[in-house]
Amino acid sequence: MASENQPKTANTNDPKKRKRCYLPHNKAVKKKGPSPLRPGIQGFFITCDGGREHQASHEAINVIDTILEELIDGKDSRANITVIPEKPANKKIKFSYSDSSDNEEDDDNVDENGAENQSEKVAEEVANNGSTLEENTDPAKKDDKLPEVGSGQVADGCEEVDKQADDKSKENEEPIEKKQCSDTKKLESINHTAELSVDKLIEAELKELGDKSKRRFSKIDTGCNGVVFVLMRRRDGDPSPGELVQHMMESASATKKHMSRFLLRVLPVELSCYASEEEISKAIKPVIEQYFPVTAEAPIKFAVQYDARANSGIERMKIIDAVAKAVPEPHKVDLKNPQKTIIVQIVKTVCLVGIVEKYKELAKFNLRQLTS
């Protein structure tokens, strides 16, 4: 009976009696991980083996970052080379206090011919300046030329001369140790300020790396298997995604050096918009004007490369015709030997557009085929 009167304790291990967690009412749920693909961004469209998207995204960021450093360092090195003179001037510097053999020989020559040279110089000076010597020695002429000065003024002038002489003697009497101490203090202060500035720069860089919104390259979730997108936030002086990818492919084809393990095709994305015929024809105009100017000397041959993923509601030929009509008239379509290729990639509801050169010659921008 005593056991029946005892209160029953709640069993926390029972999953049915746990507290149920509900989603917040009228609030958007924040998902962890990279942000989804959206229009209005620039970057790189990358394909990889299925199931290797995470490794491929990290590898792509490292490879693109190294290519960016190569391009920036190459521009800086060319600028520095032009400053260096072709034939540097080699000048021989002689110091007055040096104990070189040349100075010893000069001293010997002076000792041998010193008496004769000095006698000749004194004779010439006396002959040329005889009159001036007489004038200086004649006391009557001195009295005529000197202005009348009061005794007070003469005394003041003498006191000033004495003060200047005393100051100079004090400066000369200052020990060298004091000057060295002052110089070392100045150097220590300069080094301290330099260290502080370096520490501040390192802290600023660490803050930028910690803040995902300030990173130059970051991955974006495409929602498709075997597809990776790397977002690029361009800064002042940075090359475009097309220049980076073009340099990457040309260097890979020339050196045959393996750059990556998981990457397959790397394509630049100059613009992104919603996947509709009207939106594509509006958004592509500034990029077409940049790569296909109307005032070109010779017409450029081009072709359109179209691919779609997770979107079967758009007609292929309508998109190709819309892109081809956006190119001005002097330029022509050539599917066999195009000089430039307009790449159109549709991923779900987003259209990605980029323009490259030598698309077929560089194995359709496939890194694995270029380096194999």
Measured between alpha carbons, how far is 180 from 182 in angstroms, rounded to an integer? 5
Average pLDDT, integer, range 109-136: 51
How, if at all, do strands 301-309 and 332-333 pair?
Answer: parallel
CA distance 356 to 361: 11
Mean pLDDT (the chain, rounded): 75
Is the pLDDT confidence value at 292 over 60?
yes
More confident call, 357 vs 195 = 357
Q: What is the pLDDT of residues 241-264, one digit of tens each?
A: 999 999 999 999 999 999 899 999
pLDDT of residue 19: 65
Q: Where are the domains of the chain?
A: 43-76+216-371
What is the rounded CA–CA span in Å between residue 44 and residue 46?
A: 6
Give this prediction's pTM: 0.59
Top pLDDT among 73 and 141 is at 73
Report the alpha-carbon distance of residue 74 to residue 339 in Å, rounded: 26
Q: Can you tell me the distance from the alpha carbon of 60 to that of 62, in angstroms, rounded to the nearest whole number?
A: 5
Q: CA 204, 210, 212 angle in degrees (round to 5)? A: 115
Q: Are 245 and 46 in contact (CB under 8 A)?
A: no
Local structure of residue 7 (DSSP, 8 states): P
Separation between Cα atoms, residue 132 and residue 140, nearest integer Å: 14
Which two structure tokens, joined as six digits, stand for 358?
Answer: 């030598």
Closest CA to 228 of 357, 352, 355, 358: 352
DSSP β-bridge partners for residue 301: 332
CATH architecture label of 43-76+216-371: 2-Layer Sandwich (3.30)
Tens-digit pLDDT profile for residues 166-175: 555 555 554 5
Pairing of the two strands 271-274 and 301-309: unpaired
Q: Is the pLDDT of residue 137 over 50?
A: no
Spatial distance between the Cα atoms of 248 and 343, rounded to a whole number of angstroms = 17
Rounded Cα distance between 219 and 60, Å, is 9
CA distance 333 to 342: 11
State whether residue 345 is helix, strand or coil: strand
Question: Which pLDDT score, from 0 to 100, does residue 326 have?
Answer: 94
Q: Please give the backbone phi and psi of residue 227, each rounded to the nearest 5 degrees, phi first.
A: -130, 135
Beta strands 263-269 and 227-232: pairing type? unpaired
CB 344 within 8 A of CB 317: no
* pLDDT score at 351: 96
CA 293 to chain centre: 29
Contact 274, 350 (CB under 8 A): yes
* Maximum C-alpha span of the chain: 150
Range of lowest pLDDT (26-40, 114-128, 197-211): 114-128
Q: What is the band of 139 on the pLDDT scale with cuts at 50, 70, 90?
A: very low
